[in-house]
Structure 1
């Protein structure tokens, strides 16, 4: 009898101790995405963009709808997408919803419309390169880009803004400026612009325009190498840059290729004054594109800020 009673007490204590508190149910949906825009880029594509939604915990993704039908699910870090396979010369309607980890879905955004272009005869001639690209800061997290228009044998239908060889924004072909948001304070950026026509032919990249955003209050000044250039010859790439002014000779630089560490450039003696140059071999097929960044080792032994990126195609 005592054994049975003791066992009952033990089981009772075991059942009570260590019980996990239930996770509060998340019943609050994210806010609806705002600032949704839709821009036709060709006879069959529309570029949709929006501003980030908010949630009491975290937004985990977005869903894009066309005519009320779900067409794309995207991660929370993506605030733009191209909708393809659309009918030419047709008005299309789009909305966006945000979702969280609990499966809560926001209300639909405001509906935006875009009229796809008329299907054109076969066109294989790309537009000319946009010129005179310049960039000015708009606070510490945004920038304004302006450029001179490109030309095309039919017409330019869109301009695509690229950062580190990744398209981050699209504006209509009638525009010669764009506002880029979501930048980080105290960071070096390089932007290029491509023109596009109704047949999806894209121009070469414009010359890059660099911008270092203002640092956050109390943050130290930016220590990135500047005026980086990258040129390709057969089987090699040469980079040239201006080391940062750190108050002491900069003897070490890290070279990163496509966002990954590639090598450390070391001067065994006093580094050369002014501009620095380094050439390294590549074995990729011709036309392969690489994005290059550099950072310098500072006098205190830490690594400084990354340079604005440069993209180069292997020859």
Structure 2
């Protein structure tokens, strides 16, 4: 049965259109229970927050992750996300956290081993942010990881943590006594930009350090990251013609929520899912004009969980009114 999501938006040039399209849910074996996430860590981000991170669960098709403080569920994030900041905590308190994965059919997997973190004491009336981390540098460590380092920031009350950003999105956090880290889960031949910001116990954030552009070695021809089973057809309605697409999302360490559609050799539209899409085969239709007999070439690619673009699908040729 096809499900039509309310939040799927088509962006075409400067024109914003809400289109009728959907994702179908296939019986593709996603009903199994996912395993427990591994590599779970927890570190205080401030006097009232803890940053929890984990590796992807060992099963594909994870729809979401649930984070628990003791036995209380405190967060649920999409399967593409492998970290969360747990907030509204008490200063000077020890907490235990576990993470569970929820599969595509809704089955909840077992909890991870518990990890503990203690929040520091609250500082009174601290509105002074740490200084910018200086001397930020980095290097590739193999084809799927980079090592970053930076100079320690200064703060009148002390730095509690450092946040690492990739293209402006927070992806990692380490303790305030740490001035280096390794970021994993990258792609061979991928181009990335990292920045680092310091945080104190009152949640004051420093300005970002100098950006560190890095390229991982190796080459990814995109075949393993391209959508598969790609088909294209056309249909007419009230004098207008549409191209109908269907494909199987690529397997990735997380959920694919964005696609770029290329029409006649030019990036024509961006397809953005407003939440976590159901697993299975995807479908989308878009308007191409009112003239019958026009030939079009179409293909698409996915934005992967690491922020880079995957490989293009096979290109298909269709003719309106054909």
Match of 1:31 in 2: 35
1:124 to 120, 127, 134: 127
Structure ranking higher on relative contact order (CA contacts 8 Å, 6+ apart): 2
Aligned residue runs from structure 1 range 65-214, under 5 A: 65-214=68-217
State the distance in 2 between where 1:117 and 1:214 align: 40
Quote how far apart the aligned CAs of 1:218 are: 6.7
State the distance in 2 between where 1:160 and 1:218 align: 32
Aligned length: 200
**Per-residue displacement from partner, 1:20-65 (whole Å, max 9, x unpaired)?**
xx9587653111100000111111100000000022x511110000
State the distance in 1 between where 2:211 and 2:161 align: 18
1:52 to 49, 52, 56: 56
SS of alignment partner, residue 131 of structure 1: coil
Structure 1 residues 24 and 121, CA, compared in 2 at 3 Å: closer, same or farther? closer
Unaligned runs of 5+ in 1: 1-21, 220-263, 265-304, 307-315
Quote how far apart the aligned CAs of 1:176 are: 0.5
Name the TM-score, length of structure 2 as normaliser.
0.59
Quote how far apart the aligned CAs of 1:139 are: 1.4
Unaligned runs of 5+ in 2: 1-25, 223-266, 268-307, 310-322
State the distance in 2 between where 1:199 and 1:218 align: 46
State the distance in 1 between where 2:34 and 2:108 align: 7
State the distance in 2 between where 1:54 and 1:87 align: 33
State the distance in 1 between where 2:220 and 2:136 align: 29
Structure (1 or 2) with the greater helix fraction: 1
State the distance in 1 between where 2:176 and 2:195 align: 15
**Per-residue displacement from partner, 1:219-254 (whole Å, max 9, x unpaired)?**
8xxxxxxxxxxxxxxxxxxxxxxxxxxxxxxxxxxx
**Per-residue displacement from partner, 1:54-90 (whole Å, max 9, x unpaired)?**
22x5111100000111111111000000000011111
State the distance in 1 between where 2:58 and 2:70 align: 24
Is contact 2:31–2:104 with CA below 8 Å preserved after alignment? no
State the distance in 2 between where 1:75 and 1:195 align: 26
Quote how far apart the aligned CAs of 1:181 are: 1.3
SS of alignment partner, residue 43 of structure 2: strand
Q: Which of these two proteins has the greater Rg computed from alpha carbons?
A: 1
